[in-house]
Structure formats: structure tokens, C-alpha cells
Amino acid sequence: MTQTAATPADQPTQPTTSNVFYRSSKAYPLAVRGEGVYLYDSEGRRYLDGSSGALVANIGHGRAEVGGAMAAQAHTLAFVHGSQFTSPVLEEYAARLAAFLDLPEFRFWAVSGGSEATESAIKLARQYHAERGDTARFKIVTRIPSYHGASLGALAASGMGARRSLYLPLMREDAWPKMPKPDPTLSGEADAERLRAVLEAASPNTVAAVMVEPVVGASDAALSPGAGYHARLHAICREYGVLLIADEVMSGMGRCGVPLAVRLGGEVTPDIVVLGKGLAAGYAPLAGLMASPDIYRTVIGGSGAFKHGFTYAGHPVSVAAGLSVLNIVQQEGLVAAAQQRGAQLLAGLQDLQARHPAVLEVRGQGLLLGLVLGDPATGEAFPTPGLAERVAAAARAHGLITYPGSGAVDGVRGDHLLLGPPLSISEAEVAEMLAALDRALEIS
């Protein structure tokens, strides 16, 4: 199908009469089909999904084998409650996932979305310490900026002021100490050492866990620390008796060119790994966490149950989607593809930076990449955000979907674009993506 540029003026919108509670007041095109890296709307316009939705569609759109696996599972066993049964598909998937992530003795806790997975990790960290009799530990250290989800607990853990401010009266702020974001001017080890002061200020014997995004996603596009950062962070956590939680909802499952991004700068095995998005690649709601053998033994061997749960946790049809997606990732070598196509996209973005002064920085790992936008005269963020949204709108008019954001500097200032196409993207499609972004950046 020949691509037709979609402009804000002529985008097909949602019906004028609708019972849908839309996410915002903007006009939404009516998506009707997905195929590969492309989405199509009701008027035939084609969009290259340069952000995989919200870094979700890792294997691309329209894979019939995933739908077939889901249908077969629905015909066989559509639902069981996790407090009453396990299922063959969940047992197989947990074993396959543990092997893929090189976490052979870890246990998989399945839920429906990343926010649920983060909530589960927070509660599990608290219960782990309580089971050991260390009931004073309840605080979770996270970073500013960071984003761990939209549910109340996950949002409280997040370091995104704009998203949190309305709900602050519902949060216990002293439960969420904050450490600084990665500093590229420091070595990874020195950067991680800044955690020590945060733990001391928070009273170390009250801290249950430290939770970080190995490569930052929505809050500070594709920012990552130096080599050795996570290994030193883990060592400090061990020293203080604190768990390390790696939030790999966005960065995991091969998106950064390795199964787990936390291992990019050195070998490290966190106590809990939070997963989502790419697990089922948008074909079904699926997320979860991997918990260390020690955590599992402590909780199940203590009170006998994780005091937490969701109705649809471990839903067989969603898990069947996840198993089919994992098959595709492994059979088609999409982890290595993320490295190769990511290198191509990164080089192209660096070329764009040379031609567009408002692109202050290009960064990222694999196919989780970001553009930092700002004032070329000062090299700093513009006082008023909005450039990222304008560039994203221009890109959309040229048939490219991106993921704009702001607030990385101080909660308000700091425009950026997050880019993360499906891992199945081709060399030609990367070039198409870069050409559309080049045109969009002309507005800056």
C-alpha cells in the first residue's frame, strides 16, 4: 500500500458519538490493522510504529501464529484462578522464560501489566523482610526521574513530578527515598556509590529495596549508566541488607540487544526482575516478575503464601501469547537483530544530530534510543516544554509514530523523544524511519 501522509488537519478521528472514555481530548485516528512495523487507520493511512506503541510491539504487528496459539489455548483452557490451579502453559512458559533470561532457579509471578508487576515487586520486597523478622524495612529507594507505572504504589515509587503531583495526598512520601539519576560524567562505580548517602539518610534498617530502570524509559529517554554501575549498586545493597529490583518492563526481553539490560555493563543478578511490555508484545496483557530462589523460599517457606494477587494473574491465554512471542524472538534471532538495527538507527540519529542543532544528545542501547531536545544556543532545555510534542506531531504527519516526553530536568523542563521500533524492523524500514524523522525535525 502506498503511504499517504497524515496531517493533523485531515486525520480521521474517533466517532462524534461514543461511549469511550478517551485518554485525552486530542483527536485519535481509528486504527484498523497492523502488519509488521506498520499500523493502518480507517482511511488507509500508514504509520511506521517507531515506538512500538509504548515500547510494546517487540515482534511487530499481525503475527498470525500468536493469534493461533491464543485461540488454541482458549479452546483448551481459557481460565483458572491462580489460588486454585496452575496450568501446563504457565509451567512451560516459566521454565522457558527463566532459561532465556539466564535466571535458571528464579520463579515467575505472572500478572497483566507493568504497573501490576511493579506493585507485586514492592509488596514482595516488603513481605520478604517481614518473613525474616525484619519488619522495620518498608522503604523503596528509586531515582529522579524514573517511571515505574500508573497504579498508586508504582506511581509513588516513580520520580516523575508531573504525573505524581495530583495524587500526592494519597502517598506516604517518606516510603520512597530518591537517589539521583545516572551521571554520564562519572564512572559507573562512582555513580552507584551515591546510593550510599541516600541509604544512610533514610535510615538503612528501614529500607527494603532499591528499584532502578537499567535503561531509563519514559521519564528520561534511553538514559543509561556507565559500566559497572549495576554491579556496584548490587554490592551496596548486599552490604546494607537491601534487595535490588531491576525494572526491565521497557528495557528487557531483548530490546536493548541482550535479554536483560541490567547486565549490559557487567555481570549482575538482581533479586527481583520486573518484566512487561515485550513479554507478549501487545498480543495480550502479560507482565510479571522473576524472584530469586532465596525470596521464594523465604516467603513460601515462611507464612506459606505471597499475600497478594490479581484475578487474571497467569491467565492461560495471555501466557500462551507470551510463549508464542518468546518462540518468535528466539527462532528469528531478534535479540541480535536489536543490536544490529539499533546500531544502524543510532548512527542515523547521530547524523540527524549533526544537521539539526536542537538535537542536543543521542543515546541508548539496542532499539531503546532517545533524542534529547533543547536550545542549541545554550545547550540546555528550553524553559517551556513542548518541542518534543511538536516534533512528534510533525513526525506523525510524515507517517512516523514516536514517543515524546518532557520533565527530565526538573519535572517540567526537558524535552525528549523515545524511539523503539519492533525488533523485527528491517534495514530499509530503519532508513524510512530516519527520513521521516529528518523531515519532522525541520520544525525545530
Q: Are residues 143 and 79 in the same domain?
A: yes
Q: What is the mean pLDDT of residues 121-129?
A: 98
What HEC string does the chain produce? Answer: CCCCCCCCCCCCCCCCCCCCCCCCCCCCCCEEEEEECEEEECCCCEEEECCHHHHCCCCCECCHHHHHHHHHHHHHCCCCCCCCCCCHHHHHHHHHHHHHCCCCCCEEEEECCHHHHHHHHHHHHHHHHHHCCCCCCCEEEEEECCCCCCCHHHHHHCCCHHHHHHHHHHCCHHHCCEEECCCCCCCHHHHHHHHHHHHHHCCHHHEEEEEECCCCCCCCCCCCCCCCHHHHHHHHHHHHCCEEEEECCCCCCCCCCCCCHHHCCCCCCCCEEEECHHHCCCCCCCEEEEECHHHHHHHHCCCCCCCCCCCCCCCHHHHHHHHHHHHHHHHCCHHHHHHHHHHHHHHHHHHHHHHCCCEEEEEEECCEEEEEECECCCCECCCCCCHHHHHHHHHHHCCEECEEECCCCCCCCCEEEEECCCCCCCHHHHHHHHHHHHHHHHHC
Confidence (pTM) = 0.95
Q: Flag whether pLDDT at 136 surpasses 80.
A: yes
Domain boundary among the residues 309, 331, 353 is at 331
Q: Are residues 301 and 416 in the same domain?
A: no
Q: Flag whether pLDDT at 298 surpasses 50.
A: yes
Q: Residue 435 belongs to a domain with what CATH number?
A: 3.90.1150.10
Q: Residue 202 belongs to a domain with what CATH number?
A: 3.40.640.10
Q: Are residues 273 and 403 in the same domain?
A: no
Q: Are residues 293 and 413 in the same domain?
A: no
pLDDT at 9: 40
Number of domains in the chain: 2
Q: What is the mean pLDDT of residues 20-42?
A: 95
The model's pLDDT over 362-403, given as tens digits with 9 standing for 90+, comes to 999 999 999 999 999 999 999 999 999 999 999 999 999 999
Q: Are residues 133 and 224 in the same domain?
A: yes
Q: What is the mean pLDDT of residues 70-91?
A: 98
pLDDT at 25: 92
Q: Are residues 125 and 235 in the same domain?
A: yes
12 lies in some domain: no
pLDDT at 15: 66
390 lies in some domain: yes
Range of the domain at 69: 65-331
pLDDT at 13: 56
Q: Flag whether pLDDT at 5 surpasses 80.
A: no
Domain boundary among the residues 300, 331, 362 is at 331
The model's pLDDT over 243-283, given as tens digits with 9 standing for 90+, comes to 999 999 999 999 999 999 999 999 999 999 999 999 999 99
